[in-house]
Amino acid sequence: MKLGDLIYYITKYTGIKYLVDTYHSFKGTKCDCDKRRKKLNNLKIFPINIGQEDRSKSESFFKELNIKNLDIYIDAPITLAKCTSTEKKQTSVRPR
């Protein structure tokens, strides 16, 4: 299931979509929910390893978290991170 579909079902089954549809019906406006859903379904995520570790460390990390639908990008000299200002936004997810 893609992100746009997930958000759609969450809002549908929690009643949020009904409230939004009711609001737009009352105001005579149109929601761009379907357009937003399609954009979110096509969203691409690029995890980038900017450390000096080798590829095997990233592969074991992905395996540990059961990540199968993302590719690994190695940016050892931190070229991409520097030109996109992401070196200050490093995040890591580790199960406890």
The β-bridge partners of 74 are: 49
Query: How far, in Å, CA of 85 to CA of 56, rounded?
Result: 26
Query: How far, in Å, CA of 56 to CA of 64, rounded?
Result: 12
Do residues 65 and 37 share a domain? no
Instruction: Specify the pLDDT at position 80.
Output: 67
Q: pLDDT digit string (tens) for 73-92?
A: 777 666 766 676 655 555 55
> What is the mean predicted confidence (pLDDT) over 31-47?
85
Is residue 64 situated within a structural domain? yes
Is residue 29 situated within a structural domain? yes
- Domain extent for 33: 3-41
